[in-house]
């Protein structure tokens, strides 16, 4: 039986072999999440512009003129790129210094916490949703702090 070339490259989402490590996968996931949000925003705006409902130059960065959902989507997108230097920087530092052993153990949990924060941000701005979103953020901060302690122990001891 012959395996097609594209079938040989198919991996399960949680098989790190195609990315190199869990840290690579988490960085890939962050970039993919960013691209999904950007594509969602751009597609929605393009449709509204092509339908003649909103002029191409009338969109604000907050998305409030479109809908509450669009406003939450734009805010989730902004929150993602506001924090990208921290999360991406730590993961890139681990990859560049061949220190992924520090980040691999929690990389997927970090990505899941980030995804949970984004999804919660998009779904609602109720008090409970904001508290849930904050909890996801605190988890990310705790993981980042743990990683930084790991880097400090490796490099400064």
pLDDT in tens, 52-77: 999 988 888 888 888 888 899 999 99
**Domain 20-156 falls under CATH 1.20.120:** yes
Assess whether pLDDT exceeds 60 at residue 9. no
Q: Cα 151 to the chain's mean position, in Å? A: 22
pLDDT at 39 over 90: yes
Instruction: Check residues 64 and 2 and name the one with the higher pLDDT.
Output: 64
* Domain locations along the chain: 20-156
**127-156 and 100-123 helices cross at what angle (nearest 10)?**
170
pTM comes to 0.83
Q: What is the pLDDT of residue 65?
A: 83
Query: Residue range 39-60: average pLDDT?
Result: 91
pLDDT, position 104? 93
Q: In this prediction, what percent of the chain has a pLDDT beyond 70?
A: 88
User: Is the per-residue pLDDT at 51 higher than 60?
Assistant: yes
Q: Give the model confidence (pLDDT) of 118-131 as tens digits.
A: 999 999 999 999 99
What is the rounded CA–CA span in Å between residue 32 and residue 154? 30
**Cα Rg, the chain, nearest whole Å:** 19
CA distances from 57 to 44, 71, 106 (A): 14, 17, 42
- CA proximity to 107, closest of 36, 35, 27: 27
Q: Per-residue confidence at 8, pLDDT binned at 50, 70, 90?
A: very low
Q: How large is the angle between the packed helices 22-50 and 100-123, nearest 10 degrees? A: 30
């Amino acid at each position: 039986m012959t395996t097609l070339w594209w079938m040989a490259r198919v991996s399960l989402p949680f098989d790190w072999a195609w990315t190199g490590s869990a840290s690579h996968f988490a960085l890939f996931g962050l970039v993919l999440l960013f691209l999904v949000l950007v594509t969602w925003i751009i597609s929605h705006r393009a449709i509204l512009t092509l339908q003649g409902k909103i002029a191409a130059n009338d969109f604000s960065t907050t998305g409030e003129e479109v809908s509450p959902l669009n406003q939450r989507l734009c805010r989730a997108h902004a929150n993602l790129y506001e924090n990208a230097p921290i999360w991406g920087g730590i993961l890139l530092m681990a990859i560049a210094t061949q220190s992924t052993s520090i980040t691999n153990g929690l990389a997927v949990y970090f990505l899941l916490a980030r995804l949970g924060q984004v999804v919660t941000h998009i779904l609602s701005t109720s008090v409970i949703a904001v508290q849930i979103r904050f909890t996801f953020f605190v988890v990310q901060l705790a993981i980042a702090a743990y990683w930084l302690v790991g880097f400090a122990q490796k490099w400064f001891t």
